[in-house]
Amino acid sequence: MIDRSAILEKDREHWLHPLHHPSSHTDPLIFESGHGVWLRTVDGKELIDGLAGLWNVLLGHGNQELAEAAREQMSRLAYCSSYAGSGNLPAIELADRLAGFAYPSLNTTFFTSGGAESNESAFKTVRYYWKRLGKPDKVKVISRQHAYHGITLAAMSATGMTAYWPMFEPRVPGFLHIPAPYPYRYAGDIQPGETVGQAAARALEEAILREGPDTVGAFIAEPVQGAGGVIVPPDDYFPRVREICDRYDVLFIADEVITGFGRTGDWFALRRWGVEPDIMSFAKGITSGYLPLGGIQISDKIREVIMSAPPNERWMHAYTYSGHPTCCAVALKNLEILQRLDLASHAARMGARLLQGLQGLAEEFEIIGDVRGLGLMCAIELVKDRETKEPAGLGEQLRQACIQRGLFTRAIGDIFAFAPPLIISEEEVDRMVAIVGESLAAIIG
């Protein structure tokens, strides 16, 4: 039997956790195992993993095929350098497997260890591209409010969740934010006859013109904003964004770190709107979180600029673990399983069931002001009053009540997010909804 008190003492004395503050770590859950969509704590409590780790454990916990892929590759070649002049078989095979998989024009991959590194790589590639084309002033990046792109320094500067900024400022210059296409709480102005999608796209065009097109290098966007509140854009938004980026010669970076590899019911989310980016960032689902891996895919036109450079203008960007053979071997097996089980289609079906269940809760509980989602990426938003949309201030209470009843997920203020592993069953979806209903009844009396 594991001595939980001894483990907690070691934890508190020696581990600085992400987003750390002691007040948030007085009684943590200590997980010791997982199976399928379930997590088990050291004291024997079992909970549905309602956020798939951090949006990433697509195949669920305890997948033996992924474990065996890692073991087999480690026994042969765990690591080698992938700097220019060397390589390894899994990385080569994975880059080939990913060519054209997300979008037809994205055929070249650079590997990283995660999402923040991927977005840092995207920002540097934007600068490189425009410098090589004789436009060195095109360095500004436009992002959106509520965006999450990581919290390394440049990624944090692109992130539009202001709580991440104050204690680490000054931010990197050249990053600016416009309103998100947030149908429930759009923060910009809407002109007569305009939809939220049209207004949010117009905000992008106005920002480009205000800053000067010759200074704006890229626009970055999550197809569905995850950590900022599971914000699903209107259908008329991204086609207009693509047109605007083309009109003003601005590169479009799609941050598909969360939405990639089936999460939204399609293999990649922008497909829903018939749009292709110039650069795509990915991570999380590429290995189902079993090992750290991410990357960017670049369009053929960006590839040509890199490949045609003279040696003294080479793409001087690198990470020690880029193209890590074990991580790439696990990714290859992960992609094989995702496609074999057709989990993108399964996510679409289970997501529709989850959304329907949450809409049923909204009919029962007035505190639910909004229900939204795309595939297995859903949320409810809690309000005191549906007319005023004043936040209820009960998100954390609901999270704790759900934990007590066997569901572990995330409250983003009063937004309650759901993104379980893609392997979830109908029964498990229904149980998740039932727990939320029982928990809401408990906290509002």
Q: For 152-201, what is each residue's pLDDT tens digit?
A: 999 999 999 999 999 999 999 999 999 999 999 999 999 999 999 999 99
Distance CA 88, CA 348 (A): 35
394: nearest Cα among 437, 444, 327: 444
pLDDT, tens only, 111-128: 999 999 999 999 999 999
Enter the tokens of residue 265: 């019911």
Q: Could you read off the pLDDT of 30-88 as tens digits, one per residue?
A: 999 999 999 999 999 999 999 999 999 999 999 999 999 999 999 999 999 999 999 99
- With 0-12 CB in 10 A as exposed, 13-18 as middle and 19+ as buried, what is 126? buried
d(CA 276, CA 206): 22
Which residue carries 């790589």 as its tokens?
A: 121
Q: Which of 24-28, 133-137, 247-251, 431-435 has the lowest mean pLDDT?
A: 24-28
Cα 261 from Cα 102, distance rounded (Å): 9
pLDDT tops 90 at residue 9? no
What's the pTM? 0.97
The radius of gyration of the chain from alpha carbons, rounded to an integer in Å, stands at 22
The domains located in the chain, with CATH, are 4-62+342-444 (3.90.1150.10), 66-340 (3.40.640.10)
Using pLDDT thresholds of 50, 70 and 90, give the confidence band for residue 444: very high
pLDDT of 445 above 90: no
User: How does residue 390 score in pLDDT terms, banded at 50, 70 and 90?
Assistant: very high
User: What is the SS3 assignment for 389?
Assistant: coil
Encoded tokens for 85: 């002049």
Q: Judge whether 32 and 7 are in contact, CB under 8 Å.
A: no
Please give the Cα distance from 18 to 116 (Å, whole number).
Answer: 14
Closest CA to 253 of 234, 281, 295, 226: 281
